[in-house]
């Protein structure tokens, strides 16, 4: 009897901007070695552009082209400065499957003090970082940062069909014309389509050279 995999067909999406830290390279090296044991099939998609939203847009375009040729179940977005373990990845996929989450992200904080989380709740017309993050919990959010995020392929397909790649991966809010993070904009549009957005604080991932989360010293 064949061994059951963690997930089906997955694309690991890595937007490139700046040099890749050694710690991140090591994290990806370990993930690549584990891919055959984790998934039925896996691809990598890379793109280097001047700005993050342009890198993500180029990757999304590549993924949609690949989708014309074969089935894709899930997209794992990981920025090129993140430090993580294979165990973190396994836990994230297990949590996604358990909750059937459309979009799910681990606990990541900004690089600089005061190390606010990239878990966001909407307050009026603004998105504020969640300050009191509950330990070892899963919860609903209005937006997450894309340092690491796992999403269903259908999320990207539906949003691109409705909004186009240019509008979806942008740093300008098409409704207000104001500046907005491309990850928050993506989540804003996803939430309008009733896609669920989850955070899981039991998985803690961080930037190379920074604290992994506020209590790691």
Question: Which three-class secondary structure state does DSSP give residue 208?
Answer: coil
CA gap 113, 115 in Å, rounded:
4
Range of the domain at 121: 7-207
Q: Taking a C-beta distance cutoff of 8 angstroms, is the pair 131, 116 a contact?
A: yes
Q: What is the pLDDT of residue 1?
A: 40
CA gap 203, 98 in Å, rounded:
15
Does 88 map to a domain? yes
Q: What is the pLDDT along the chain (217 residues), one digit of tens a residue?
A: 456 899 999 999 999 877 888 999 999 999 999 999 999 999 999 999 888 889 999 999 999 999 999 999 999 999 999 999 999 999 999 999 999 999 999 999 988 777 889 999 998 778 999 999 999 999 999 999 999 999 999 999 999 999 999 999 998 877 777 778 899 999 999 999 999 999 999 999 988 876 555 444 4
Q: What is the pLDDT of residue 110?
A: 84
Does 213 map to a domain? no
Does 174 map to a domain? yes
pTM above 0.75, yes or no: yes
Q: What is the pLDDT of residue 106?
A: 97
Q: What is the pLDDT of residue 186?
A: 95
Does 216 map to a domain? no
Does 214 map to a domain? no
Does 182 map to a domain? yes
Q: What is the pLDDT of residue 179?
A: 79
Q: How many domains is the chain built from?
A: 1
Identify the CA nearest to 175 among candidates 189, 164, 161, 154: 189
CATH number (domain holding residue 145): 3.90.550.40
- Sort residue 49 into left (φ over 0), alpha (ψ -120 to 50) or beta: beta
Q: What is the pLDDT of residue 19?
A: 83
Does 212 map to a domain? no
Does 217 map to a domain? no
């Amino acid at each position: 009897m064949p061994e059951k995999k963690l997930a089906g067909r997955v694309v690991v999406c890595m937007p490139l901007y700046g040099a890749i830290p050694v710690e991140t390279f090591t994290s990806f090296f370990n993930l690549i070695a584990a891919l055959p044991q984790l998934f039925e099939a896996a691809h990598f998609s890379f793109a280097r552009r001047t700005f993050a939203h342009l890198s993500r847009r180029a990757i999304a375009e590549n993924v949609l082209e690949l989708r014309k040729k074969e089935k894709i179940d899930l997209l794992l977005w990981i920025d090129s400065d993140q430090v993580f373990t294979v165990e973190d990845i396994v836990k994230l996929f297990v949590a996604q499957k358990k909750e059937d989450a459309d979009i799910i992200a681990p606990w990541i904080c900004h690089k600089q003090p005061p190390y606010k989380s990239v878990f966001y709740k909407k307050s009026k017309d603004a998105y504020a970082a969640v300050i009191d993050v509950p330990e070892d919990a899963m919860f609903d959010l209005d937006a997450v940062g894309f340092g690491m995020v796992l999403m269903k392929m259908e999320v990207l397909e539906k949003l691109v069909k409705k909004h186009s790649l240019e509008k979806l991966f942008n740093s300008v809010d098409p409704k207000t014309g104001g500046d907005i993070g491309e990850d928050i904009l993506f989540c804003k549009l996803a939430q309008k389509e009733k896609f669920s957005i989850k955070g899981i604080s039991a998985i803690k991932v961080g930037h190379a050279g920074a604290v992994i989360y506020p209590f790691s010293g």
